[in-house]
Structure 1
Amino acid sequence: MRPILLPAVLLSAVLMAGCAELRAPRVAQPVPLALLPVGQDPVRAGIEMAAADFSNQGVGLRGKPAETARAIARLEWLTAVVSTDPRYRALPIGLGMALRASVVETREALGMVADTPPALATSSLTNIAAALDAGTTPVVPADIFPAGAERTLQRLTAPEPFPQSGIATGRLADTVAELDRSGGWNPGAGDPRL
């Protein structure tokens, strides 16, 4: 009887450990006020801006390092919010996966550390953009951008195309607009408009 119970006990322990992750409170993503217009729903504004930033694979960002940093910072924040906030659970699962893939794409393009927390990536890129706008040398944290400041700034100035980000942000804007028109937001979580 004992050998039969051992696998069940081990399986229970693994399942209980997984439940701990579900019970943990979700990490709040601070609204990056420097990246969004004042007086608008930040998520809706972020969605519209991200779709514009990455339209045509983000070619409009070339030669604009501060704007590239802001665009990627907004994408980091937006992806974290719509992926974790229960108000956005009406969005298709595949869309969340596409947004996360776009974050991987932009991080690889900049040479960022893959597991950087989204809030830290957002604030670091926002600070880099602000320094560039002010004409000062930005602080480029080596623990996030191991290639160093010079290489990171080169990548911000001449970013690679962002095809995944263009597709994901465009789909997000279209899906949110359709959910608004159809009233298809999750009734249990409420309409995510603030």
Structure 2
Amino acid sequence: MTTFSLSGAFARMRQTKPASLAAALATSVLLLSGCAELRAPRPSQPLPTALLPPNVEPLRAAARMAAADFADQGSRLQGRPAETARAVGRLEWLTATLSTDPRYSALPEGVAMSLRAGAAEARANLGMVADTPPAQATAVLTEIARAIDAGATPSFPASVFPAGPERSLQRLQAPGPFPQAGIATGQAAEAIAAADRQGGWKPTTGQSSF
């Protein structure tokens, strides 16, 4: 990034005609805000506490649970709509976290790519809108699971489930196989376990980044 001197900018402003002063000031503000944006960390995905056991490290727990959820192509989820909603919600969070959080960049790049394909497969199986933001997908699926567990009629927002409540519930009850999600979640759990065995996530220092 080009070094930006605030004092130099204001010195030039004093030599600028009044008509151009506002434009010069606006440019300076944009440059400063751009530098701040590059320095700021990426926002993390909201932690789905309702989908995880209490008092656990969330990434490792989510990876282990996702691998169990989608083992054997997700056969254990068939006929269990609340569990399916929770499983796909965890998959959404795990995928988004490993795809965007720089703390986990030590993992092989293929892990996140495989998870994204698995999440896309899960969305297609449930009839979800393909480009739903992951945080929204996780939140909606969490509420659907909670309603089913309580014996209430779940809400299926049309912006996420365009097929309507009846058809969407049917898909949750019989979502079909999840071959890609099964492969991806198994890979993620193995990669995380391997990183732990090899001394953490910063091999040059031996320190864990989380």
Q: When the two structures are superposed, what TM-score results if normalisation uses the length of structure 2?
A: 0.78
User: Which of 1 and 2 has higher RCO (CA within 8 Å, sep 6+)?
Assistant: 1
Matched positions, count: 174
Partner of 2:208: 191
Of all paired residues, the percent bearing the same amino acid is 61
The gaps in structure 1 that reach 5 residues or longer are 1-18
Mark the runs of 5 or more structure 2 residues left unpaired by the alignment.
1-33
The one of 191, 198, 202 equivalent to 1:175 is 191
> Which residues of 2 match residues 1-194 of structure 1 at below 5 A?
23=38, 26-186=42-202, 191-193=208-210
In structure 2, what is the equivalent of residue 13 of structure 1?
none
The structural deviation recorded for 1:192 is 4.1
1:25 Cα deviation after fit: 5.3
Q: CA RMSD in A?
A: 2.0
- List 4+ stretches of structure 1 deviating above 6 A: none
* SS of corresponding position for 2:121: helix
Q: Which amino acid aligns with 1:70?
A: R
Larger CA Rg, structure 1 vs 2: 2
Amino acid at match of 1:68: T
If the length of structure 1 is used for normalisation, what is the TM-score?
Answer: 0.84
| Range that drifts further, 152-161 or 24-33 | 24-33
Q: Distance in 1 between matches of 2:156 and 2:162?
A: 9
| Inter-partner Cα distance in structure 2 for 1:145 and 1:164 | 21
